[in-house]
Structure 1
Amino acid sequence: MRVTILGAAGMIGRKLAERIAITGQINGQNVDALTLVDVVTPDVATDFKGTRDAYAADLAEAGVAAQVVADQPDVIVHLAAVVSGEAEADMEKGYRVNLDGTRALLEAIAAHDGYCPRVIYASSLAVFGAPFPAKIPDDFHLTPLTSYGTQKAMGEMLLNDYSRRGILDGVGIRFPTICIRPGKPNKAASSFFSGILREPLNGQEAILPVADDVRHWFASPRAAVGYIEHAATMDTAPLGAQRCMTMPGVTATVGEQIEALRDVAGDEAVALIRRAPDPAVASIVAGWPRDFDTARALKMGFRAEKSFQEIIAIYLEDEMGRTALTGAAT
């Protein structure tokens, strides 16, 4: 199997590449060639025993999509995107990367007669906007209220249509907000959800721009990689024409996140959270969904954590080398 990861320098892309490099497989199927692409050259997965390649390219630039599919990879993981906050601040850039780049990729695939790869498209909860029910069902219509959400909704429609026509075999993954993200904050409006846990766990101050009662939908980076691995090899026939699904996750308020942090690291860690209301961020987050019924994805075999304590435990294990929850006040 030949696998190409677009957006491979990002957190999820890096973790997926590392996983493939270590195991030589994706969900139990052998990977013979691994290509990593991003706007900066991704780190080559040096542990990988098969054919490796990594290069910098902008998918929205002329000719790049054709280059990406020239060797006809069996699986294309499309993670490349301008994230939510940046897409809202720079509308032109968001549409160029998130919509035009996606369309260019699908058209490049269509140019190869008889070529039908599995395309895994990274979508977002931002395709839903208020008003919506407290728990959004699988059949709820797309109602984006941001440019990013609109761009991702358009990408979902394209994935459905190109799959329906037999040009590709698409699986659209609506990721929960991935938490706790390692490293530094990115430009996503949701970045603070990780920051208010990650920074205190590392002894640093964190900024909280929204109220404690803000509720959201979460999963760990480990779950995110698992979604992609499963999507790469699953039977897509039961999906029919509707190829996009909201992934399983955990619903929690900011206050519940903070209490989970207190359980793990005590009052000293919680004291490192500084409240600094940001109306712009609060406005974006206010239009996001909070809870989902993900029966369809669960039936298709996707899995995630069941509690926020489990999400924190995964961060401690994967990023800090701790195998037990320690440090909580007694």
Structure 2
Amino acid sequence: MHVVVTGGAGFVGARLIQSLLDPATATDTLPVSRITSIDLAPCPVDDDRVTSLTGDISDPALIKQALTEDTMAVCHLAAVVSSQAEAEFELGMRINLDATRALLEQCRAHPQRIRFLFASSLAVFGPPESEPVPENVAPEPRSSYGIQKAIGELLVNDYSRRGFVDGRVCRLPTVVVRPGRPNRAASSFASSIIREPVAGEEAICPVAADLPLWLSSPRAVVTNLQRALQLTPEQLDNYSWRTFNLPGLTVTVEEMLNALERQVGSEARQRVRFERDPTIEAIAASWPGALETHRAQALGLEADADFDAVVRAHLEETGHTTP
């Protein structure tokens, strides 16, 4: 079975590709034989079963090239991240909205009813009236990124309702800890305040210590995305609305730093310096700190045990040891 992954050169996309090709995580509901990655950069997964197409995901010709007769599933992860979408409105609309519509149209024209996995975000919600946010509450985003993702959710649900695709929308928590350097996501600090201190570097936290965040480890997110993709139409028949909040953890910045100190030591915690940034803080504070996830859990999706486990997973993957 052929699968197309947009954003396949990205951190989550590359991990999802590796997981889909791993015999240990494969299932009979989605036996993957080859994958095509679409991104601005080549996919880093070195596997003969992976073809990498580089270019603009909003280009219909590129999408048409990626989808072949044996394509059975599309994982749409490509996006312009939150702060960049806020700063560059036209770019965010083109990549986060126009490309999603173009991809759905190509899938609609395909002879097979394609499984369409759309990676959305908790940014579709505005400041919650109460937490955890119920699964059936209407999105009220406070950013261009959140609005673009919310429109994408509606499109996937309507294309599914019409029978054009077999959609499933996954609202991702903030993924921590991401490797590499900080990017232009408003949530980038959530990884930096763990990643940099572990590596012996200083980190700046632009938000208050008591700010609650809805978080998930890379491992849990990738596992949940793969499980969501593998769900059969029969398993989803009870859900007329194909949007699910992925399970996560509610953790304040202070609790994150406490876990860092427990797992790495007090010196690591002391490498984090607070410098409040009103722009970042306004965006991050508009996101809910907890979501209801009953439907996702009923379908077998799971959260991390606790934030200490998230830090330990990062240490393990980067070759660091606990004190």
Task: Please state which band the TM-score falls in when normalised by the shorter chain.
Answer: over 0.9
- 3-state SS of 1:174 partner: strand
* 1:24/1:31 contact within 8 Å kept: no
- 3-state SS of 1:74 partner: strand
Match of residue 247 from structure 2: 248
Q: Does 1:194 align with 2:188?
A: no
Matches within 5 A, 1:274-293: 274-293=273-292
60-69 vs 162-171, which moves further? 60-69
Letter in 1 for 2:249: V
In 2, Cα distance between equivalents of 1:144 and 1:108 = 28
Residues 1:186 and 1:2: Cα distance change in structure 2 (over 3 Å): same
In 1, Cα distance between equivalents of 2:300 and 2:20 = 20
Q: Does 1:39 align with 2:40?
A: yes
In 1, Cα distance between equivalents of 2:168 and 2:289 = 23
Matches within 5 A, 1:164-183: 164-183=161-180
Letter in 2 for 1:246: N
Match of 2:75 among 65, 74, 77: 77
When the two structures are aligned, how many residues end up with a matched partner? 320
In 1, Cα distance between equivalents of 2:238 and 2:227 = 14
Matches within 5 A, 1:99-114: 99-112=97-110, 114=111
Matches within 5 A, 1:226-237: 226-236=223-233, 237=236
Cα deviation for residue 26 of structure 1 reads 3.5
Cα deviation for residue 187 of structure 1 reads 1.0
Q: Residues 107-164 of structure 1: CA distance to partner in whole angstroms, max 9, x if unpaired?
A: 111123x321111100000010024312111111111111000000000000000001
Q: CA RMSD in A?
A: 1.6
35-44 vs 165-174, which moves further? 35-44
Q: Residues 17-41 of structure 1: CA distance to partner in whole angstroms, max 9, x if unpaired?
A: 2223443864454321111110112
* 2:53/2:66 contact within 8 Å kept: no
Matches within 5 A, 1:113-128: 114-128=111-125
Cα deviation for residue 241 of structure 1 reads 2.4
In 1, Cα distance between equivalents of 2:220 and 2:43 = 22
- 3-state SS of 1:241 partner: coil
In 2, Cα distance between equivalents of 1:186 and 1:148 = 15
* 2:96/2:148 contact within 8 Å kept: yes
Residues 1:158 and 1:140: Cα distance change in structure 2 (over 3 Å): same
Q: Residues 234-289 of structure 1: CA distance to partner in whole angstroms, max 9, x if unpaired?
A: 13433532111111111010000011111111110011111111111011111111
- 3-state SS of 2:314 partner: helix
Cα deviation for residue 72 of structure 1 reads 4.4
In 2, Cα distance between equivalents of 1:131 and 1:284 = 13
Query: Percent of pairs identical after alignment?
Result: 40
- 3-state SS of 2:262 partner: helix
Gaps of 5+ in 2: none
* 2:113/2:163 contact within 8 Å kept: yes
Q: Does 1:93 align with 2:91?
A: yes
Cα deviation for residue 61 of structure 1 reads 2.0
Matches within 5 A, 1:250-329: 250-320=249-319, 322=321, 326-327=322-323
Cα deviation for residue 228 of structure 1 reads 1.5
- 3-state SS of 1:227 partner: helix
Match of residue 19 from structure 2: 19
Give the 4+ runs in structure 1 shifted more than 2 A: 18-30, 43-46, 235-241, 318-322
In 1, Cα distance between equivalents of 2:81 and 2:130 = 25
Q: Residues 53-101 of structure 1: CA distance to partner in whole angstroms, max 9, x if unpaired?
A: 1120212124222222234411111000001111011111001000000
Residues 1:103 and 1:219: Cα distance change in structure 2 (over 3 Å): same
Match of residue 30 from structure 1: 31
Match of 1:218 among 203, 215, 225: 215
In 1, Cα distance between equivalents of 2:242 and 2:46 = 30
Match of residue 158 from structure 2: 161
In 1, Cα distance between equivalents of 2:177 and 2:128 = 28
Q: If the length of structure 1 is used for normalisation, what is the TM-score?
A: 0.93
* 1:44/1:53 contact within 8 Å kept: no
In 2, Cα distance between equivalents of 1:5 and 1:75 = 9
Letter in 1 for 2:246: M
Q: If the length of structure 2 is used for normalisation, what is the TM-score?
A: 0.95
- 3-state SS of 2:38 partner: strand
Residues 1:24 and 1:2: Cα distance change in structure 2 (over 3 Å): farther
In 2, Cα distance between equivalents of 1:90 and 1:81 = 13
Q: Does 1:204 align with 2:217?
A: no
Letter in 2 for 1:116: R
- 3-state SS of 1:184 partner: coil
* 2:18/2:45 contact within 8 Å kept: no
